[in-house]
Amino acid sequence: IEQTLAQQPYLNGQTFGVADAYFFTVLGWSKYFNIDLARWPGISAFVERTAARPAVAEALAFEAQAKKA
């Protein structure tokens, strides 16, 4: 996956898809297992790119707000 994401923005190429959404979610769990994604620059860039998508950013903000409540 690292090699793929080092060459293209999403798992299936230029278009964000369901697999990307699920992969982003699974990668979010890495913090609970102390896995530093910085070891994989392609995957790290994917996480940043995906988190910056407007709908994803909105969902993450909602989730953060819900945790505070």
Kindly tell me if the per-residue pLDDT of 69 is higher than 90.
Answer: no
In this prediction, residues 19-37 reach a mean pLDDT of 96
Rounded to an integer, the average pLDDT of 49-69 is 94
Q: What is the pLDDT of residue 18?
A: 97
Residue that is written with structure tokens 């993450």 in the block: 60
Structural contact between residues 16 and 47, judged by C-beta atoms closer than 8 angstroms: no
Provide the 10 A C-beta neighbour count for residue 20: 20
Whole-prediction pTM: 0.89
The stretches of the chain forming alpha helices (DSSP H) are 2-7, 18-28, 41-51, 54-68
